[in-house]
A and B are shown apart, each in its own frame.
Chain A
Amino acid sequence: MPEVLLSTATSQPLLQLEGLTRRFKGRTAVDGLSLSVRPGEILGLLGPNGAGKSTTFQVLAGLLSPDAGLVRFEGRELSLSDPSLRRQMGIIFQRSSLDDLLTARENLMLGARLYGLGGERARERVEAMLSLIGLADRGDERVSTWSGGMRRRLELARALVHQPRVLLMDEPTQGLDEAAFRTFWAHLKRLRDSEGLTVLLTTHRADEADVCDRLAVLDAGRLVACDTPQALASRMGGDILSVEAPEPEALAAELRERLGLDAKVVEGRVQVEAPQGHALVPRLVEAFPAGRLTSVALRRPTLADVFLQLTGRALGADVPTAESAPRRRR
């Protein structure tokens, strides 16, 4: 059943973007983005709102046309509206694409038919997908009554019912709680293996970035890094000291002056990156009288820290020119 796509791991990329550019009224949302997606991998486009992820997604989904650049699928240059390329893609949008008046089974059937699957074949796929997402016994319920996590899993099934080679997702787990997030990803990884999928997704969740095979870090429409989460994290030399204080700005300034540390304020906390974090803790505590520090925490760098270092922006923050809901005007 699974297509063998991983047989030649070093083979050509499945999907390539070359110099993809898209402008909105003078603002360049995606600026000459080049990216290779390898067969079988889960590649995350990481960045805050406004970094150009969603625009990249919409161009690949065929909803926006690029101003420049091209896309290759298996080395062949294809127009993004080419039906043969569209058939190879399964897409999950940020907004629900489920019809609330239809049952889960009907929603899947609709997805199957849209891609030309008919009769027995469509029914087989619908049933298979329902059991793969663990909702086989609830197929006849209308989806309007379902929880956010169940709906997202059904979206996953709808996007994959026609057996695409590439799954494209825009912030797929936004708004899901921790448990629903984990269930979604457990199903996604299983489906990736059983269906031989290649996955490209946008995210600004650090926990989601962590489960990707590779990450493409975007900032202001440009690619600033592309590597595995581990390799990206190891770019940060040491530990992160995170200090809670009543006056974070003043404390950061003092840390820079008195201890010569590279301290900055991130989301209300003073943050210091240092190779020997544990040795720094006593120094810090001794250097400041009681009351100046509320708490001191030591941790390994996360992707959010990496992102901050690469772009100077916090991952969760909105860039002022947010395009989270791009105005789709001429």
Chain B
Amino acid sequence: MSAELSAAPEPMNTGAPAVSSPPGTLALQWATVRVLMMRDIVRFFRQPSRVVGALAQPVLFWFVIGSGFAGSFRVEGAQGLGYQQFFFPGVVTMVLLFSAIFATITVIEDRKEGFLQAVLAGPGSRLAVVLGKALGSSAIALLQASLFLLLAPLAGVSAATLNVPLLLSVMVLSALALTGMGMSLAWWVRSSAGYHAVMSIVMLPMWVLSGAVFPLKGADTWLAWVMRLNPMRYSVEGVRRALHGAEASVALGASSSSAGLEVPVLVAFAAVFIGLAAFSVSRRE
């Protein structure tokens, strides 16, 4: 992995004696982003338990919960769509969510240790720190989600309904948005224990109420409203539409007009939370 940390595409003052001319501000920002991103990716692969967990967990979730609900799941107009097919996109978003949560826990840990202090005391801006963390986490999340997606044929996904560009953009944007959200929360909560509490009252319910576990259609009126306003709904609906097609998506409660809305909504979602995270982190105490 050292090659990844040391590979340098841009030549900078190679062999210049003593003091090299200062790199530009933008170059410094990019350096910070890249260092943090690569570090998280390297760290991921050096923790075998994380790699195994990351691969096994979604599969387990999908089989266990999927089988448990399989018998009692019936949605009008969505005949032929069993629970395991329905739940599959939900598990994809769960992978993105868990990866974001994990990444933001490392922010809290790094902050207590000197590592993050050393980065914050460096020349990179705090927005660069946030972006580096968010991109690193997103890369890991995407890798995990992509591996899980290899099981898509088992979930009844056919080449006819598969929309790869939509799938990728929804996944990237969701990963960024969720990491940004996790980070803005993590910055105010200063212990991992406190963060677990925040996670279980904010982030997990968001996922449960996103249409990942049960469809919007058939939910109580008040619950349906909560679900409609939940930005994570667009991640789930985006992934579902990209995998199963618009028809199945609508049958499960996505309004037909929301097709095509997923990407713009997620762009806004990501921008707001990355911005919020950068704002939280940039408040010097």
Flag if A110 contacts B113 (CB, 8 Å): no
Flag if B120 contacts A116 (CB, 8 Å): no
Q: Does B150 contact A (CB under 8 A)?
A: no
Flag if A330 contacts B31 (CB, 8 Å): no
Flag if B123 contacts A101 (CB, 8 Å): no
How far does the alpha carbon of A93 sit from the alpha carbon of B112 in the complex, in Å?
11
* CB within 8 Å of B: which A222-251 residues: none
With A114-B31, A116-B123 known as contacts, the answer to whether A97 contacts B16 (CB < 8 A) is: no
Flag if A96 contacts B19 (CB, 8 Å): no
Closest chain A residue to B121 by CB distance? A61
* CB within 8 Å of B: which A70-92 residues: 81, 83-84, 86-87, 89, 91
How far does the alpha carbon of A111 sit from the alpha carbon of B31 in the complex, in Å?
10
Query: Quick one: which of A98, A115, A118 contacts B123, CB cutoff 8 A?
Result: A115
* CB within 8 Å of A: which B27-50 residues: 27-28, 31-32, 34-35, 39, 42-43, 46-47
Interface segment, one of B1-9, B58-66, B161-169: B1-9
* CB within 8 Å of A: which B110-142 residues: 112-115, 117-125
How far does the alpha carbon of A62 sit from the alpha carbon of B23 in the complex, in Å?
20
| A106: chain B residues within 8 A (beta carbon) | 1-2, 5-6, 42
Total A-B Cβ pairs within 8 A: 137
Q: Does A189 contact B (CB under 8 A)?
A: no
Closest chain B residue to A105 by CB distance? B2
Flag if B124 contacts A114 (CB, 8 Å): yes
> Interface residue count for A (Cβ, 8 Å)?
47
Closest chain A residue to B7 by CB distance? A119
How far does the alpha carbon of A72 sit from the alpha carbon of B22 in the complex, in Å?
19
Q: How far is the CB of B190 from chain A (nearest CB, A)?
A: 8
| A86: chain B residues within 8 A (beta carbon) | 121-123
Query: Quick one: which of A89, A98, A103, A330 contacts B121, CB cutoff 8 A?
Result: A89
| B117: chain A residues within 8 A (beta carbon) | 61, 63, 93, 95, 97
Flag if B35 contacts A116 (CB, 8 Å): no
Closest chain A residue to B1 by CB distance? A106
| A109: chain B residues within 8 A (beta carbon) | 2, 5-6
How far does the alpha carbon of A62 sit from the alpha carbon of B282 in the complex, in Å?
11
| B257: chain A residues within 8 A (beta carbon) | none
Flag if B2 contacts A121 (CB, 8 Å): no
Q: Does A276 contact B (CB under 8 A)?
A: no
Flag if A114 contacts B12 (CB, 8 Å): no
Flag if A102 contacts B114 (CB, 8 Å): no
Q: Does B72 contact A (CB under 8 A)?
A: no
How far does the alpha carbon of A163 sit from the alpha carbon of B31 in the complex, in Å?
17
With A91-B118, A114-B31 known as contacts, the answer to whether A65 contacts B12 (CB < 8 A) is: no
With A110-B39, A118-B8, A122-B6 known as contacts, the answer to whether A163 contacts B118 (CB < 8 A) is: no
How far does the alpha carbon of A111 sit from the alpha carbon of B115 in the complex, in Å?
10
With A96-B113, A97-B115 known as contacts, the answer to whether A118 contacts B16 (CB < 8 A) is: no
Q: Does B285 contact A (CB under 8 A)?
A: yes
With A63-B285, A119-B8, A328-B285 known as contacts, the answer to whether A113 contacts B114 (CB < 8 A) is: no
| Further 11 A-B residue pairs, CB within 8 A, beyond A87-B22, A96-B114, A116-B123 | A1-B17, A3-B18, A97-B113, A101-B46, A111-B118, A114-B122, A116-B12, A118-B8, A118-B11, A121-B14, A330-B285
Interface residues of B (CB under 8 A from A): 1-2, 5-6, 8, 10-20, 22-23, 25, 27-28, 31-32, 34-35, 39, 42-43, 46-47, 112-115, 117-125, 284-285
Interface residues of A (CB under 8 A from B): 1, 3, 61-65, 81, 83-84, 86-87, 89, 91, 93-99, 101-103, 105-106, 109-111, 113-124, 140, 158, 163, 328-330
